[in-house]
């Protein structure tokens, strides 16, 4: 538990389901990232594309336009690792060239060219998330393990070092409520080999169902509770909006446990 890392979310979008527009202005986004760093974030995750249900995709060019000044500003003012939340290789490449350290790909490196970017930036870490449609003939555990195995083999084939890989089971992406809850409750079932796990459940519909709260901004306490529970089960990285609450919860847990 002492080694759990907190990834703070910096959405540079006008339409994120939970905080769309709040930090769309680059100056606001940079300040928000610095505030998260002050609150105890270990990683800052910058994204310029909303992936909320029913989202309208923006181009890679627009995404670069959104994230470029934010990553520049953050890198000038903090040494924390910066993650780029994107599935476009062009966006990942630009972000890494500006000093980002992690590619956080919600499409699991399924788009051609992303692994090539990862190879060019050999010091970067890779978060590989499962968001493919569920294969109903398989259990959720079987499905995710097959996906992780496929991605592991692809990385090995092109020479990506094992210590760069992090897996994310993709809570809320193409899975039923029961499957999402199972992923939260039993991370050990979804671990592939010894690779670190990243869980991102903050403000998602799974939390809304658990507490019957329609307003995303009112789901932070429950999001921290769910993330803390997963951390106690061995998850190495939790991606949250409410960094201070997460940091304080981990600190108290570690002292009382």
Q: How far is CA 180 from the centre of its chain?
A: 15
Q: Which residue has the tokens 């210590």?
A: 163
Q: Is 250 exposed, middle or buried (0-12, 13-18, 19+ CB in 10 A)?
A: buried
> What are φ and ψ of residue 219, in 5° steps?
-105, 10
Q: Over 86-153, what HEC string results? A: CCCHHHHHHHHHCCCCEEEECCCCCCCCHHHHHHHCCCCEEEEECCCCCCCCCCHHHHHHHHHHHHHH
In the three-class reduction of DSSP (H, G, I as helix; E, B as strand; rest coil), residue 197 is classed as: strand
Identify whether 204 is a catalytic site residue: yes
Is 5 a catalytic site residue?
Answer: no
Helix (H) / strand (E) containing 68: helix 60-77
Catalytic residue (one of 107, 151, 182, 204): 204
User: Which one from 205, 239, 244, 247 is the annotated catalytic residue?
Assistant: 239
- Exposed, middle or buried: residue 257 (CB in 10 Å: 0-12, 13-18, 19+)? exposed
For residue 147, give both structure tokens: 């996906």
Contacts for 19 with CB less than 8 Å, ≥ 6 apart: 11, 216, 217, 241
Gap between the Cα atoms of 43 and 84, Å rounded: 10
Contact (CB, 8 A) for 130 and 179: no
Active site residues: 204, 239
């Amino acid at each position: 538990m002492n080694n759990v890392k907190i990834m703070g979310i910096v959405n540079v979008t006008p339409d994120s389901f939970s905080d769309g527009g709040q930090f769309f202005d680059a100056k606001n986004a940079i300040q928000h990232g610095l505030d998260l760093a002050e609150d105890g974030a270990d990683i800052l995750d910058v994204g310029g594309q909303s992936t909320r249900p029913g989202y309208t995709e923006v181009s890679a060019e627009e995404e670069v336009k959104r994230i470029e000044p934010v990553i520049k500003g953050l890198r000038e003012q903090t040494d924390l690792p910066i993650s780029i939340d994107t599935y476009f290789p062009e966006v990942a490449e630009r972000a890494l060239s500006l000093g980002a350290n992690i590619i956080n790909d919600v499409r699991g490196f399924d788009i051609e060219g992303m692994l090539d970017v990862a190879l060019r930036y050999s010091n970067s870490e890779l978060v590989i998330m499962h968001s493919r449609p569920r294969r109903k003939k398989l259990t959720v555990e079987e499905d995710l393990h097959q996906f992780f195995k496929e991605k592991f083999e692809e990385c090995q084939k092109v020479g990506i070092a094992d210590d760069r890989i992090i897996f994310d089971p993709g809570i809320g992406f193409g899975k039923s409520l029961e499957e999402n809850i199972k992923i939260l409750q039993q991370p050990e079932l979804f671990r592939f080999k010894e690779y670190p796990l990243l869980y991102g459940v903050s403000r998602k519909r799974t939390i809304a169902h658990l507490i019957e709260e329609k307003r995303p901004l009112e789901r932070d306490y429950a999001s921290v509770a769910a993330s803390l529970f997963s951390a106690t089960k061995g998850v190495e990285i939790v991606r949250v909006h409410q960094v201070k609450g997460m940091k304080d919860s981990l600190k108290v847990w570690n002292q009382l446990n």
